[in-house]
Structure 1
Amino acid sequence: MKKNKIIYWITTSIIVAFDALMPALTFNMPLAKEGISHLGYPDYFRIELTIFKVIGGIILILPMIKPRYKEWAYAGFGISLIAACVANWTVDGFSGNAIFPLVILGILIVSYVYYHKTKYILIREKNN
């Protein structure tokens, strides 16, 4: 059980750092603005995406949030990472910019699997 919790918290922390904290700190920098416009998105999309990523990160990292909301946050991050891969691949071809979101998606999947493993163990312990 301890191993499952450690894996869950490490992977979830990585997701929150890369996909919520970093965008929150850098969304207004020239490189971020240029990256969004380079992919063909309007500038307001950068702000919307950052707001939703920060909300999703808060939902994932706080343990008292209901599982239903965590499921939506996982789905939202998954969709945004797949969309990032497709957008980068379409505009720049298959490169590191297209692969990196898939690496983060892999970490997100591990976090999701271990979230359910830890949740199942807690439910099982309550029933015993």
Structure 2
Amino acid sequence: MKTTKIIYWITTSLIVLFDGVLPAFTFQTDLAKQGISHLGYPEYFGVMLVCFKVAGAIVLILPAFKGRIKEWAYAGFTFDFISAAVSHAVVDGIGGQALFPLVVLAVLALSYFSYHKMQTAVFALSK
């Protein structure tokens, strides 16, 4: 159980830092705006995406959020990473930019499965 908690907190913290906190501070930079427009998306899409990322990061990191809301946050990040991989693959071809979101998706999957393993253990202890 201790190993599961460590895996959960490390993977979840990585997702929150790199896909919640970092975008919140950098989404108005020229580089971020160029990245969104390079993929063919309008500038307002980047703002909307960051709002959802920050909200999802808050839901993932705070233990007060449980159940369906946390499931929706995991689903949202999953859609985000898959969409990012597809967008980069279509625009730039298969390469590092297209594969990196899939690596982050694997980190998210570790977070998700360890979260559910912890919840199952808590449920079993409460019986």
In the superposition, the TM-score normalised over structure 2's length comes to 0.99
Corresponding residue for residue 19 of structure 1: 19
Instruction: Give the SS at the match of 1:65.
Output: coil
Count of residues in Structure 1 that have an aligned counterpart in Structure 2: 127
Indicate yes or no: 2:74 matched with 1:78. Answer: no
Corresponding residue for residue 88 of structure 1: 88
Q: Give 1:63 deviation, angstroms.
A: 0.3
Alpha-carbon distance in 1 for matches of 2:10, 2:119: 16
Corresponding residue for residue 115 of structure 1: 115
Alpha-carbon distance in 1 for matches of 2:63, 2:102: 26
Alpha-carbon distance in 1 for matches of 2:92, 2:17: 25
Cα deviation, 1:39-72, whole Å, max 9, x if unaligned, reads 0000000000000000000000000112210000
1:1-128 map, 5 Å: 1-127=1-127
- Deviation >4 Å, runs of 4+: none
Alpha-carbon distance in 1 for matches of 2:39, 2:106: 23
Alpha-carbon distance in 2 for matches of 1:67, 1:57: 15
In the superposition, the TM-score normalised over structure 1's length comes to 0.98
For structure 1, list consecutive stretches of 5 or more residues without a partner in the other structure.
Answer: none
For structure 2, list consecutive stretches of 5 or more residues without a partner in the other structure.
Answer: none
Residue type of the partner of 2:49? L
TM-align CA RMSD: 0.5
Alpha-carbon distance in 2 for matches of 1:5, 1:40: 40
Alpha-carbon distance in 2 for matches of 1:63, 1:114: 14
Alpha-carbon distance in 2 for matches of 1:7, 1:75: 19
Alpha-carbon distance in 2 for matches of 1:34, 1:57: 24
Residue type of the partner of 1:112? Y
Alpha-carbon distance in 2 for matches of 1:119, 1:17: 23
Alpha-carbon distance in 2 for matches of 1:18, 1:38: 21
Residue type of the partner of 2:80? S
